[in-house]
Structure 1
Amino acid sequence: MHVPSDSTDPTGSADPGPVEIHARNVAFDWTRSPLHWIPGFPVASNFVSAFNLMLPEGERWFVQTFNEALPLIRDEELLAAMRGFIGQEAMHAEAHDHVIWEFLDQHGIDPRPFVAQMEWLFRKLLAPKAGTEPAAAQKDLIERLWLIAALEHYTALLGDFALNSAWVEHAADPTMVDLYTWHGAEEVEHRAVAHDVAVYFGDSYIRRGRAMLVVLPTLFAVLLRGYRFMQHSDPVTREYGFVRRQIEYRRAVRAGVLPRLSRIALATFSYFRPGFHPDEIGSTAQAVAYLASSPAARNAS
């Protein structure tokens, strides 16, 4: 499957035509990156850094589930897109793992308690059900594929934010900016794959809606836990009370260095619209243009 190009692009990027999804073997060096990598925005820096605590286990679960589905698919274009998706998600997991154990650890943030929670969520709670009959096992697989499709709705929205954030304008650390923008660009690039895979096994509006009703509260609960974990682990933001953190969050949103979470949540309504397709989110042209200029992606190629 090729990712469709965009008919219009507000950034002015040229239409790239069909794009083949593939992994980029990137590497980053965080030895000079400060904990508060967005200057003047410690709460926003920690908020974004909290994603590193959640992403590796989730992305490994994506890879495991897609590998489980691969032998059941006969559509060659979809298989090619899935292999590209698997490669990209595996690379995302590896990159954010390095952030956990090289960046956070070196700044005195012990990620182990939160990582243990993510391991339980993805390795135990969301693991394939053992010992089930083939029909039940396939049904369980399809439910997990729809959960991934729902999660990818939000990764695409967040990827679009990363591509259009004001991090550079606020002199954010270039390595951290490249990490999140590279990841965001690939999320936009492959935004339709998980949806198309779930549809392949059965385009059920009920399954789609049910998965989103599970994902929305769970995702925001996990995100809030990660946010609180980072703020309380950082000696600077640990001293901030609830009101101060709210003020800092709103200031960061106005500055364009954090997404407005209420807007992300409201974008859920588009997912329930009949005829919705993830291609409506973001711009392939913009994503490809960034990936062509990303320092890490250029070094990988």
Structure 2
Amino acid sequence: MSATAHAHHAHPINDAREPRDVDGSDPGPVELHARNVAFDWSETPLHWIPDHPVAANFISVLNLLLPEGERWFVQTYNEALPLVGDDELAATMRGFIGQEAMHAEAHDHVLWEFLDHHGVDPRPYQRQMEWIFRKILGPMESGTPRARQKHLIERLWLIAALEHYTAILGDFALNNTWVESGADPTMTDLFTWHGAEEVEHRAVAHEVAVYFGDSYLRRGRAMLVVLPVLLLLINRGFRFIMRQDSSLRYNYVQQQYHYFRGVRAGVLPKMRHIVFATFSYFRPGFHPNEIGSTAQAVAYLAASPAARNAS
């Protein structure tokens, strides 16, 4: 499988407005552009982290969640783009759109060539995702221009809140123990490539939302909507995969045991860390560059096997 997408005008996103990375490194201007990637799923086992089947299934939930969510990001940004008067921001948004479209396409292939192939039918869950992202969170079809603009701004803040988590998970993908644990190289590369791009463009959604309607109230409200919904969808997705995975017959207590084993082994993120990062989002002076390292992300993207295969 080879997915292709071409970004429009790439654009440097490190300007005077943005603080450097917290680790003090400054990779210089970073151009946001979509990278072509190619993955071959024929050899990847369902439990792609050896000795951690529950952790593997838990992370595989992201494949169920992401394609529709990222298509929604792309659609919303395409709706917002003509309203942006700042050329620099518009160019950054085009780079973001290109990257998110590639992510959606890459994870879409995983649904069919990996999950479906291993007997986990993604269709019922996908229908729910389509309903949420296309019907509930889709653009407002009627109403005054002012009401539609307000609706757009609310959706841009929801995307900013979601991107807070994709950045946290991206940073985890770059700093976990999958490789040491002998995880499947293709799935490891998919999530690390995706995570690295999330870290690379982590400030974009925040800056777009601020450009359209800078409001601490809107920011906080969006997070209070996103957090419970995200937890619910991940939990549902995990139960969905575990029910269909006929090779595992764990009860709830066993699942919890194996989940925490995965956390201790560094193949799953610590919940404590995610909760702490959620609180950081409510700090008035918060900026997404506080999460992760651009230099680390860019270094991985230069070495990613999938990106090199495709080029």
TM-score interval, normalised by the smaller of the two chains? over 0.9
Partner in structure 2 of residue 163 of structure 1:
174
Q: Is the 8 A contact 1:182 1:294 kept in 2?
A: yes
C-alpha separation between the residues in 2 aligned to 1:214 and 1:50? 20
Return the letter of the residue paired with 1:130. E
Q: Determine whether 1:89 maps to 2:100.
A: yes
Partner in structure 2 of residue 240 of structure 1:
250
Partner in structure 1 of residue 288 of structure 2:
278
Q: Is the 8 A contact 1:6 1:283 kept in 2?
A: no
RMSD (Å), alpha carbons:
1.3
Q: Is the 8 A contact 2:21 2:290 kept in 1?
A: no
Deviations 1:217-245 (A, max 9, x none): 000110100111111110123x1011111
Q: Determine whether 1:188 maps to 2:199.
A: yes
Kindly tell me the number of residue pairs found equivalent between the two proteins: 297
C-alpha separation between the residues in 2 aligned to 1:286 and 1:74? 32
Return the letter of the residue paired with 1:16. P
| TM-score, with structure 1 as normaliser | 0.96
Partner in structure 1 of residue 86 of structure 2:
75
Specify the SS of the correspondent of 1:267.
helix
C-alpha separation between the residues in 2 aligned to 1:266 and 1:218? 18
Return the letter of the residue paired with 2:241. M
Q: Is the 8 A contact 2:22 2:291 kept in 1?
A: no
Q: Is the 8 A contact 2:21 2:289 kept in 1?
A: no
Specify the SS of the correspondent of 1:170.
coil
Partner in structure 1 of residue 263 of structure 2:
253
1:15 deviates by 4.2
1:128 deviates by 1.2
1:42 deviates by 0.3
C-alpha separation between the residues in 2 aligned to 1:291 and 1:26? 11
Return the letter of the residue paired with 1:273. R
C-alpha separation between the residues in 2 aligned to 1:65 and 1:19? 24
Partner in structure 1 of residue 76 of structure 2:
65
C-alpha separation between the residues in 1 aligned to 2:293 and 2:38? 25
The unaligned stretches of length 5 or more in structure 2 are: 1-10
Return the letter of the residue paired with 1:166. T
1:200 deviates by 0.2
Identity of aligned residues (%): 72
Return closer, same or farther for 1:54/1:79 CA change in 2, 3 Å cut-off: same
The unaligned stretches of length 5 or more in structure 1 are: none
Q: 1:21 aligns with which of 16, 25, 32?
A: 32
Q: Is the 8 A contact 1:9 1:286 kept in 2?
A: no
Return closer, same or farther for 1:204/1:99 CA change in 2, 3 Å cut-off: same
Partner in structure 2 of residue 265 of structure 1:
275
C-alpha separation between the residues in 2 aligned to 1:163 and 1:183? 10
Return the letter of the residue paired with 1:138. Q
Superposed, 1:199-238 pairs within 5 Å as 199-237=210-248
1:18 deviates by 1.1
C-alpha separation between the residues in 2 aligned to 1:65 and 1:160? 25
Q: Determine whether 1:292 maps to 2:292.
A: no
Q: Is the 8 A contact 2:202 2:288 kept in 1?
A: yes
Q: Is the 8 A contact 1:6 1:284 kept in 2?
A: no
Partner in structure 1 of residue 6 of structure 2:
none
Partner in structure 2 of residue 115 of structure 1:
126
| TM-score, with structure 2 as normaliser | 0.93
Specify the SS of the correspondent of 2:227.
helix
1:73 deviates by 0.3
Partner in structure 2 of residue 3 of structure 1:
13
